[in-house]
Amino acid sequence: MSTHTVETTFKISFTDEQYVHAKAYIEDMKKHRNRIFWIGKEGQKDDELIISHIAHKVLSGFYSAYSGYGSAAILEMINSKINGNN
């Protein structure tokens, strides 16, 4: 079995309401520094954390059941094969 690595870049859209919700989530997470959420996020600025949270929700399908999300939120996807063979 071979392993393949692909680098993927997504362009997503989100509303002001979703940004505010994600910002509140990050503010709440700041009160709980021992949560698993923080692994690998040390040193990131608030805006990076907020955008990352929105992207995670969009890409994980969390928003698929809500109006304005799912495939509508993902505007573009670019893939580049890094290594491996088919």
| In the chain, where the domains are located | 5-83
Two tokens, residue 13: 């859209």
**Mean pLDDT rounded to a whole number for the chain:** 82
Residue 71 has pLDDT above 60, yes or no: no
- State pTM to two decimals: 0.70
How confident is the model over 24-48, as a mean pLDDT? 93
What is the pLDDT averaged over residues 49-73?
72
Length of the chain as a residue count? 86
Tell which wins on pLDDT, 15 or 76.
Answer: 15
Strands 5-12 and 74-83: antiparallel
Mean pLDDT value of segment 20-27? 95
State mean pLDDT over 45-56: 93
The confidence score (pLDDT) of residue 86 equals 46
